[in-house]
A and B are shown apart, each in its own frame.
Chain A
Amino acid sequence: MKAINTVWLFFRFLSQNTKIKLEYKLDSFILFVSGAALQALGFLFIAVLFSKVPNIAGWTQWEIIFMLAAIYISEGLVSFAFEGAWQMAFLVNSGEMDRMLLRPVSPVLQILTFTMGIHGIGNMALGAVLLSLSLSHVHVAWTFARVLFIPIFIVSACAIRTAISFAANCSAFWLKSYYNAFPLMVYQMADFAKYPSSIFGKAIESLILFVLPYGFISYVPACWLFGKAWWGIFAWGSPLVALWCCLAARWVFYRGLRRYDGSGN
């Protein structure tokens, strides 16, 4: 009952936020277009690069575009549905969070859905296009397991992405400043997961597999799907990684909440 209620509330918040954003038509349009255009430039970069070389560290163009697409889709969903995570610094420092703590609804849900990002729609749309393009170009022997794997990994990828970005933004409880740079740095580390991470060396590869598991969004699934490494089979563990990330993020949030003392007035 509680779960259904939460889902219902989530969609209510999302639709309200969408209405608010659509009030600013020019802004929404610019955000939507620039979000999609940026991703298109990322795609163009890879296309130009591969016009000169047949493969990078044994990976072909469409295999890398698959990874890029996975990153774009998960990034798009976080922006679209859970953009509120990025408002943590504001919520903590302005004391706005007081309001959320008083309501009989999970503060995590309220924070995540505090706002939404129109650009997420553009990201997801372009990511979906790139994903289907790449899957139609790569040579994969499609078995039942591989087909089943696609939706599982996409859902896990979105959950991992949301959890990492939420946990990083919870740093606002400790770093009390309106300009909190820490989550941005964490966010940027996902750049290493847009490409086969082994090319960056063991240290970076370990970082995005074990510390900030962005690797489970794109790299590990790609390794399994395209048979790049024996440990690609761990891609099936991505729902567990996602669950672990969500629990860890929740724990970080409630730890941080103990430090929260409102703005007082």
Chain B
Amino acid sequence: MLRLALRKYRRFAALAIQETLAYRIPYIVNMVSIVVTYAVIFGIWAAVFSGKASVGDYAWAEMKTYLVISLFMSALVSGSSEYRTSRQIRTGNIAIELLRPADYQLSSLSITLGNSLCEGVLVSLACLAFAFATGPGVFPPDALSWALFVVSCLIAIATKFLLVYVFGLACFWTNSLMGISWLRKGLTDFFSGALIPLAFFPGWLMTVADWLPFRNIVWVPAGAFTGRIAGADLARSLAVGVAWVVALWLIARFVWSRAMRKVTIQGG
């Protein structure tokens, strides 16, 4: 039974990979736009650090590494599934999805994972190029640190997927995804620490960021990689991350069940 289910969802992921390879342009554009964003961010930080050994308690080598990890995590799960969900809702094609003998949330996750696999290759290349261009950085000291970094990445992917998914479901209530998508992206960029490490935040803003799920997307993986978050601190952060994934999964289920009452109105 489980094997059958697994095969079913693996098929969704495989289809997503095929689709990405067939329609390369949006996918490449998305990458280019992210690289431009990071060129800007990188330029600003380089200017901030010029002539200084450290800013806050960050050395330039750590900051560079932080930005490369941030680029990696920001590019890994693009908002494409958000647009897929909203398009299906708006065109009414969601009805076909409902007829399929598959769970919508799980199949969306499979598709996102398939996309992430494709993105991962390109993103890793971009990050390597970025890392080479910017010179030496900071690396995890041992195998355990690497393993914990990988775990934090998985949590980050799950968190980002669920946020994108829940925001995408908002289209059951409103017609325009644009505003919602911007808001999600803006909040993610800011509160995940993608643009500026959370350690630079003033106390009150840091507290806000600590209570939001976004920090699991960049701040925790980057901290695990550079060693800024380590030991018991890291264990706690990862546990909180897992708790957020579970909570967001249930929230998504709840929003979906509410949305299902709405879908009959949209249908036609």
Q: Would you call B134 an interface residue if the criterion is a C-beta within 8 Å of the partner chain's C-beta atoms? A: no
Q: How far apart are the CA atoms of A228 and B186 in the complex, in Å?
A: 31
Q: Does A48 contact B (CB under 8 A)?
A: yes
B266 at the binding interface (Cβ < 8 Å): no
B50 within 8 A of A: yes
With A37-B186, A192-B40 already in contact, the answer to whether A24 and B33 are too (CB < 8 A) is no
- Smallest beta-carbon distance A51→chain B, Å: 6
B25-A181 in contact (CB<8A) = yes
Is B200 in contact with A199, judged by CB distance below 8 angstroms? no
Give Cα A204–Cα B173 distance, bound, in whole angstroms: 42
* B14 at the binding interface (Cβ < 8 Å): no
- Given A41-B190, A45-B196, A185-B32, the answer on whether A199 and B44 have CB atoms closer than 8 Å is yes
Interface of A is mostly: helix
Stretch at the interface among B65-73, B95-103, B175-183, B240-248: B175-183
For residue A195, which residues in chain B have a CB less than 8 angstroms away from its CB? 40, 43-44
Residue B37 at the A interface, CB < 8 A? yes
Query: Which A residue's beta carbon lies closest to that of B205?
Result: A48
Whether, in the assembled complex, A52 has its beta carbon less than 8 Å from a beta carbon of chain B, the answer is: yes
Instruction: Determine whether the beta carbon of B175 is less than 8 Å from that of A24.
Output: yes
Q: A46-76 CB contact bits vs B (8 Å, 1 = yes)?
A: 0011011100110000000000000000000
Are A191 and B36 interface neighbours, CB within 8 A? yes
Please tell me the size bucket of the interface on B: 35 or more
Interface residues on A, range: 35 or more
Given contacts A51-B202, A185-B29, A200-B43, contact A41 B186 (CB under 8 A): yes
Q: Mark B198-222, 1 if CB is under 8 A from A, else 0.
A: 0011100100000000000000000
With A26-B173, A192-B40 as given contacts, are A34 and B180 in contact (CB-CB < 8 Å)?
Answer: yes
Q: Which residues does chain B contribute within 8 Å of A201, judged by CB atoms?
A: 43
A33 touches B179 (CB 8 A): yes
Interface centre among B29, B50, B201 (most CB of A within 10 A): B29
Contacts of B173 in A (CB 8 A): 26
Say whether A184 faces chain B, with CB atoms less than 8 Å apart: yes
Asked whether A53 and B40 contact (CB < 8 A) given A30-B174, A31-B179, the answer is no
Are B47's CB and A184's CB within 8 A? Answer: no
Residues of A within 8 A of B (CB): 24, 26-27, 30-35, 37-38, 41, 44-45, 48-49, 51-53, 56-57, 119, 177, 179, 181, 184-185, 188-189, 191-192, 194-196, 199-201, 204
For the complex with contacts A30-B183, A33-B179, A195-B44, 18 further pairs of A-B residues with Cβ separation under 8 Å are A24-B175, A27-B174, A33-B183, A34-B180, A37-B183, A37-B186, A38-B183, A45-B190, A48-B201, A49-B48, A52-B48, A179-B25, A184-B33, A185-B36, A188-B37, A199-B44, A200-B39, A201-B43
